[in-house]
Structure 1
């Protein structure tokens, strides 16, 4: 087969801010941590992958690459050899679970800051709407990274960007229009950072960031940003075991008149409220709000939608319905919807694919089908998922499947 340059892998290095040597070092670090032996990867290996001289790396390189970029080999531009298609990832009894060290997280955060452009924030001078447009671009990239891979090092990147924006507010000059836009940008970044902290299991930090998002949204006098902040605080209350409080917040948000022009947000609020009602033993209310979410979503367009709502696809709406049915104890229906979600889910959302695969196994365990649950999680790839909450759940469900015991859902 003639050589063909791997432009996909080359673009990934640029996106994540790696040089050839930095990527080789990271492959070696992960391989040593996972396999206990060094991979002996060098910058020459990386150059050969990009040049197309090696179209399918050895497993000792391939697994670390999947963890670094959160993509399948094919999505990184590699082409499988027929003889190695069934041997690239040797079978394991259970997925390898590893905790990221602070050094690794800091390294990735530094690379992400450069790749996402969050370090390009003026700290003095006068700000104009062109600056606001650049801030929005960086925020869109933050949202896309979270929607695809989850929190992980992104919480440090988003928190760093939040500090930069706040310093710009304190030390730059600007007009009223720019000031409101800056507060809106702060609200959006704080919300993204809040979900990233939540994904890392740092719920105290998530609460602090979500309160910052609400304050900034109020200062921006932006009703959509305020609604998003309230919705995130409702999700926080639900996770803390206060579904009735979460239901009250979601209902209050749905009562806002401006939502008539925001069908996507309205559909999300209905779906989240449905889950709250399921938890407080109101299955009829759950059904009404799930139906409302589907009806409103069907007439919503995605053109011009905020970047943070990119995750709200038909697959995600099906998944939210599955979560609500799980909360109501309707495991058969929840399993059906989760399976549908996985069929519909876009490959961009590696985090959500892992999340719903784990949910599917949890639902199977709840019905006593430990063999099916074990098969469901047997081939889960968590290497690219930057969510300690999801990997911890996977670890629990894998252990439970081997013993046949049930596990309870860790509320999303």
Structure 2
């Protein structure tokens, strides 16, 4: 929790050395995977640690940090002893059932907020849905810090009204006192919801998450409607967080084939950015709008949206963001069949990417590394009909991709299969298709199913070949969904 008494953690800052917060966060996530942990670490979390806002990490982060720096203690890392920073447990409402917790890790409560009679709202475990998550804890086992924020997020005033209307428990709306202000806990909870959605999407795809993710988005907009933030900085963070949450939910709609819903969410984020005067949020909204327009066949709009995003981002000191927007523009030109402008935009994207990461890179861009650069260039060449060239870039994307990002790995392999099928390499296409099918028990993404279905259509004339027939038969037996429509 943030505190006016926060003391910068200089020891932890020294351990980061020359790495940017984003690069160090990526190293933390890699270390977590090495020991079987899962943490939603990003540049903002590292910044909060270094600023002294997190005086002691939760148990998952503790295990990861001690794994990264063997021989050191939490004190050596600049943290305080756990017993000095942990408070008493939250008290349930009278007569309320205990909160179901799938992991018996103790949780703490935040410092009292400036609202009358603070209320702890019990949050039930997620209702089972027809997803293919390999571990239910991916949804319900949130770290101590995240769980505290989640409880604060659903506490008091309009948030409890939203919770009740969404079936998340809590007192009736009329019995809940309105807060005098929205503070750090609520804003941090909005930001944490964005991170959690991105983490789950990286691992599992969008199909099983979209409906669930709409709930925190509604609660975030209830906070905006309340208009009770007393500090300008808090209000700005709330607008940015709500806008990023709109984009995250919009992406889940986009990736699961709900294009109209996605368009609405992206437009909502753009409006929030314009009201708040937030160029970073505006650039992000335009970036996703361009991507959606290309997928919807509106290639001229894709070009215009990408160019608008580049204008919004020109003063943000993030070459990587400008690189991604140049790639979005290149995709639009490729869809229009304009090879000259496409190649020019691709060249600009590569030059900007080669400038390297920056501390100013938005945290949502953690997915954008060399694998994504290769994959997006592959899509441009595919749109122009250069299938062999597209396959080379798609192959590089699959080789470079961190296996932790399961959805992207499956997508890149599906794109590779399609490119190889068009390029006249049916056996190799079938082999790549099998690799995609191997991942479909972990990932639910209509985009991936649609791409795989496109590969099947191209391979059908080659079905007499044994390897192709084996893939087609296996694909048919899985009965994957085709493109749900645009």
1:308: which partner in 2? 364
Pair 247,304 (structure 1): closer, same or farther in 2 beyond 3 Å: closer
Indicate yes or no: 2:462 matched with 1:404.
yes
C-alpha root-mean-square deviation of aligned residues, in Å?
A: 3.2
Aligned 1:360-399 pairs, distance under 5 A? 360-380=416-436, 381=438, 382-398=440-456
Indicate yes or no: 2:292 matched with 1:236.
yes
Indicate yes or no: 2:393 matched with 1:337.
yes
For residue 400 of structure 1, report the CA deviation from its aligned partner: 4.3
Q: Hey, what's the Cα distance between the residues in 2 that align with 1:162 and 1:106?
A: 23
Superposed CA deviations along residues 360-412 of structure 1, whole A, max 9, x for unmatched, are: 1111111232222112212332111121221243244246435438xxx9899
Pair 103,385 (structure 1): closer, same or farther in 2 beyond 3 Å: closer
Q: Hey, what's the Cα distance between the residues in 2 that align with 1:334 and 1:193?
A: 30
- Aligned to 2:130, the other structure's residue is in SS state helix
2:130: which partner in 1? 104
Q: Hey, what's the Cα distance between the residues in 2 that align with 1:322 and 1:143?
A: 24
Worse-matched range after superposition: 153-162 or 248-257? 248-257
For residue 159 of structure 1, report the CA deviation from its aligned partner: 1.1
1:199: which partner in 2? 255
Pair 266,8 (structure 1): closer, same or farther in 2 beyond 3 Å: closer
Verify the 8 A CA contact 1:197 1:206 in the aligned structure 2: yes
Pair 113,180 (structure 1): closer, same or farther in 2 beyond 3 Å: farther
Indicate yes or no: 2:295 matched with 1:295.
no
2:198: which partner in 1? 143
For residue 332 of structure 1, report the CA deviation from its aligned partner: 1.2
Verify the 8 A CA contact 2:279 2:313 in the aligned structure 1: no
Indicate yes or no: 2:213 matched with 1:158.
yes
Aligned 1:103-142 pairs, distance under 5 A? 103-105=129-131, 112=139, 115=142, 117=147, 119-120=150-151, 121=153, 122-124=155-157, 125=179, 126-142=181-197
Pair 396,296 (structure 1): closer, same or farther in 2 beyond 3 Å: closer
Superposed CA deviations along residues 276-333 of structure 1, whole A, max 9, x for unmatched, are: 1112122121111111111111113154532321110011111111111111111111
2:175: which partner in 1? none
Pair 161,363 (structure 1): closer, same or farther in 2 beyond 3 Å: same
2:115: which partner in 1? none
Q: Hey, what's the Cα distance between the residues in 2 that align with 1:299 and 1:341?
A: 20
- The gaps in structure 2 that reach 5 residues or longer are 1-32, 41-126, 158-178, 464-481
2:222: which partner in 1? 167
Indicate yes or no: 2:263 matched with 1:226.
no
Worse-matched range after superposition: 325-334 or 387-396? 387-396
Is the radius of gyration larger for structure 1 or structure 2?
Answer: 2
For residue 111 of structure 1, report the CA deviation from its aligned partner: 6.9
Give aligned pairs, total: 318
Q: Hey, what's the Cα distance between the residues in 2 that align with 1:103 and 1:313?
A: 32
Verify the 8 A CA contact 1:113 1:119 in the aligned structure 2: no
Structure number with greater CO (CA < 8 Å, separation at least 6) is: 1
Verify the 8 A CA contact 2:207 2:446 in the aligned structure 1: yes
- Aligned to 1:256, the other structure's residue is in SS state helix
Q: Hey, what's the Cα distance between the residues in 2 that align with 1:114 and 1:160?
A: 18
For residue 110 of structure 1, report the CA deviation from its aligned partner: 10
Please give the TM-score of this superposition, normalised by the length of structure 1: 0.69
Q: Hey, what's the Cα distance between the residues in 2 that align with 1:104 and 1:388?
A: 14
